[in-house]
Structure 1
């Protein structure tokens, strides 16, 4: 049995330093941030896709949402029980890598749950999303969207249908993660 059909998830994973990269991603995600360097997953290729022009204004294009369809579909099809089993199996190594960061006020398990909560807190935005381009990069025209944490802005950029699928899977994962007894290695217990 595999984590996702046709072992499709493995094509999105970066194979070097996997444990440390997942720990760094969870740590950043718990604060709502995205990591741009040393990601545990491959990046969606290509620039953001917009409709409109500088004269009439820009909108986030539905074609941009489709860029996320494949990885979101694979994530949504992921076997949750197997993912949780792998998490439990690798937890001692994850916890050890967490300890290397020197953060002592919480366990890695707490950080993972906080990262999930950050994604789940992303607002649901329907309809056209207006953008501005004050320089090279596009920004949300709505200041309340632009000030959101990076992981929540990513959820908006992937579109409402994909965001819903990701949130559904994360709710399922969170429920199972909260129910497991995570063995705290001695190093993490003493923090």
Structure 2
């Protein structure tokens, strides 16, 4: 049999920053504890997504001190998150600057369905997007998914307990950073909840995924897939194995925190 024709395209809108949505998961578990205030009588089914609902605790307002410098916040984040994964790639991620501000920006982007690639361009994958012809159609070449395997592996290695405890320290800072650019009345808790929904709503597709050329790029042939938000399509293009790892980590965080709430 002849090898299938492989067509290579590298449009930035198609693949640049596909993996950056995974950063939401790097930190997503940190915020979940905030919105699990109610005790649960039964643990969730591990196969089901538990999407935490934002809470609105009644607390008296207090005067806010000046925000720490970016260098001070980075030092705190690095010292706390260093134990979240032993993989050297994760250590490389932590060497980036403005970690907490990037996190807040990415969560806001994904919650709105927008691409967060500018905030975490350091995670842009190498190589090019490839499609091959099969039965007269273009389908995504499996090797295109493999470009994101490192990110999927790192996300899968994360210790959610470390992430949660870290967020307990920096949650108030994240809320203040969020307010700098958020619409009036928006809370970071609610924005994080929407980001969770975006991640967990992406379909996992194990078979061939058909795409069609459109100018210098490809789009999904299935209108339902093409109608996904930019953030969701970024996750979808990471491939089923990496997407399962990311969604599984979100579910792990949710279950872990629901268990904690039920013991209170």
Match for 2:115 among 20, 23, 34?
Answer: 34
Q: Distance in 2 between matches of 1:47 and 1:71?
A: 16
Structure-2 residue corresponding to 1:4: 85
Aligned to 2:155: 75
1:122 pairs with 2:199: no
Measure how far apart 1:180 and its partner are: 7.8
- SS, match of residue 50 in structure 1: strand
Alpha-carbon spacing, 1:164–1:69, altered in 2? closer, same or farther (3 Å): same
- Kindly tell me the number of residue pairs found equivalent between the two proteins: 180
Shift of residue 41, structure 1, vs aligned partner: 5.3
After TM superposition, give the deviation of residue 113 of structure 1 in Å: 2.2
Correspondence for 2:181: 101
Does the 8 Å CA contact 1:25/1:40 hold for their aligned counterparts? no
Pair member with larger Rg: 2
Task: Give the superposed CA RMSD.
Answer: 2.5
Structure 2 gap segments, 5+ residues each: 1-81
Deviations 1:56-110 (CA, angstroms, capped at 9, x unpaired) = 4321111111111111111111000001111221112211111111423332122
1:144 matched residue in structure 2: 224
Normalising by structure 2, what TM-score?
A: 0.61
Question: Are the aligned partners of 2:113 and 2:230 in contact in 1 as well (CA < 8 Å)?
Answer: yes
Distance apart, 1:46 and its partner CA: 2.6
Choose which of 60, 85, 90 in structure 1 pairs with 2:165: 85
**How far apart, CA to CA, are the structure 2 residues paired with 1:39 and 1:94?**
17
Task: Tell whether 2:191 aligns with 1:111.
Answer: yes
